[in-house]
Structure 1
Amino acid sequence: MRIKTYTNIWRIEGILYSIYDIKLPVPVTYAQIGYLVFSFLFIIIFSDIFPLSIINNKLLKHFVIPIGFAWLMSKKTFDGKKPYSFI
C-alpha cells in the first residue's frame, strides 16, 4: 500500500518575470538572484585579494563573473539536491 504525500508541491521555485513594468529578457529564480547578490558582494569585498586583483576589466569582474556563477550554481546539483540545501 502506498501513502500519497504532497510535500513536493511546496518545493516549487519562485520565478521572477518582471520588475515593476520592466520585463526581464530571461525568467530568473529567487535562488539565482541570491547567488548573483552573494557573488557580487563577494567580489566587492575581496577584490583586493590575489585572483581578483589581477582582473582589470570592470565589466568582467562585476557583471560576467557573478552572472556566470549564478547560472552555474543554479544548474549544478549535488546528489540530486541544489547547493543551497546543504546550508
Structure 2
Amino acid sequence: MKQIRVYNQVFRIEKTVYSVQGIQLPIPVSYRQLAFFAGTLFLMFLLNEIPPFSWVDYYLIKFIGIPLLVAWFFTRKTLDGKAPHRFLIRFLEYRSQPKYFARYQEIPVEKKARYHYTGTVVYRRHEEVTDDAKHSLSD
C-alpha cells in the first residue's frame, strides 16, 4: 500500500490584518483572532450589568483584557488536540447523548432495584421466658 502525501495545509495561509482604518496594529492579527476578540467584546457589553462583571470597575480589563485573553486562548491553545471551542462542543454533545448503544442504536436501560427477594423470609421469634415457663420446660 502506498501512502500519498497531501500538502493542503502548506498552501492554506491564514489571512492577517495589519491595520484597521489606517491605524497600525502592534502585532499582526488573524481573522480568527479578530473574530474571537469582537465576539467576546460584544458579549462583555451584553453582560456588563450582571453581577460578576459589574463588580469589575476597570474598563481596560473588562473590555480589552478579557477579550484579548479569550482570543489568545481560543486560537493558541489546544485541549486534547482540538481547538478549545470544538472540544467544548464535542464534550457537551457527548454528555447529552445516551451512553448504551448496540449497533449504533440506543439501548433502553431499565432502572432496577438493587435487591429483589423472590422467596419467603424465615425468622425465629424470640420470647422472653418467665419462671412459670421454666418450670414447665423442666418437667
Once the two structures are aligned, what percentage of the paired residues are identical? 35
CA distance in 2, matches of 1:22, 1:44: 23
Counterpart residue number, 1:73: 74
Would you tell me which structure has more helix in proportion to its own residues?
Answer: 1
Number of aligned pairs? Answer: 86
Higher RCO (C-alpha under 8 Å, 6+ residues apart): 1
Quote the RMSD (CA, aligned, Å): 2.0
Alignment TM-score, normalising by the size of structure 1? 0.78
Structure 1 gap ranges (5+): none
Counterpart residue number, 1:51: 52
Instruction: Tell me: CA distance 1:45–1:10, structure 2 relative to 1, closer, same or farther (3 Å).
Output: farther
Secondary structure of the structure 2 residue equivalent to 1:40: helix
Structure 2 gap ranges (5+): 90-139
1:13-69 CA-partner distances (Å, limit 9, x unpaired) = 222223354432101011110110111011100111121010011121111111121
Runs of 4+ in 1 over 4 A off after TM superposition: none
Q: Where does 1:1-87 land on structure 2 (aligned, <5 Å)?
A: 1-9=2-10, 11-19=12-20, 21-84=22-85, 86=86
Structure number with greater Rg is 2
Alignment TM-score, normalising by the size of structure 2? 0.53
CA distance in 1, matches of 2:11, 2:80: 20
